[in-house]
């Protein structure tokens, strides 16, 4: 999970504040220890940090599981919409888990309209390896 700049600044400010309090408490403890060890504090007294340093927090970050990447498939050369939808020796778009964006914008050239439904172009083109669930844009002769 990305951390934004304000979060980093807030963490640094908290760290600086905490290290300053711990440094102050540690200096007071060292002064107390020196006074006891050199005989300047007789009888020795128990050390009490004033002010008390902030409590330490050892919170674990939650484990984030990264899902595996989707399986890769090769875009077949369907040739026409019927093959793309029903197969016929070639896996269909549904078989491969591909999402089809069909655009019927190419004019029919054959007077008998035998080329109706012909796939004129695909993006990405046939033979391209893509993850399952990818969108394939198919330009088709008017159906």
All structural domains of the chain with their residue ranges:
1-65, 72-141
Residues of the chain predicted below pLDDT 50: 1
- Residues pairing with 104 in the sheet: 140
Q: Taking the CB of residue 106, how many other CB atoms lie within 10 A of it? A: 15
Instruction: Look at the domain 72-141 and name its fold.
Output: Trypsin Inhibitor V; Chain A (3.30.10)
- Tokens at 45, concatenated: 């007294």
Which pLDDT does position 136 carry in this prediction? 93
Chain mean pLDDT for the chain: 79
Question: Which region, left, alpha or beta, applies to residue 97 given φ > 0 means left and ψ of -120 to 50 means alpha?
Answer: left
Q: Taking the CB of residue 78, how many other CB atoms lie within 10 A of it? A: 23
Q: Which residues, other chains included, contact 2 with Cβ-Cβ below 8 Å and sequence gap of 6+?
A: none
Which pLDDT does position 17 carry in this prediction? 66
Q: Looking up tokens 């002064």, which residue turns up?
A: 31
Which pLDDT does position 1 carry in this prediction? 45
Which pLDDT does position 124 carry in this prediction? 93
Which pLDDT does position 106 carry in this prediction? 67
């Amino acid at each position: 999970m990305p951390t934004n700049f304000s979060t980093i600044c807030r963490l640094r400010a908290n760290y600086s504040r905490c290290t300053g309090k711990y440094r102050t408490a540690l200096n007071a403890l060292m002064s107390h220890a020196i006074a006891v060890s050199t005989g300047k504090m007789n009888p020795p007294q128990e050390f009490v940090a004033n002010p008390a340093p902030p409590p330490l927090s050892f919170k674990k970050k939650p484990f984030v599981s990264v899902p595996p990447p989707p399986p890769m498939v090769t875009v077949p050369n369907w040739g026409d919409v019927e093959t793309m939808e029903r197969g016929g020796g070639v896996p269909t778009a549904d078989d491969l888990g591909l999402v089809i964006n069909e655009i019927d914008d190419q004019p029919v050239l054959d007077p008998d309209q035998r080329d109706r439904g012909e796939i004129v172009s695909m993006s990405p083109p046939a033979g391209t390896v893509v993850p399952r669930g990818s969108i394939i844009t198919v330009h088709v002769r008017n159906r």
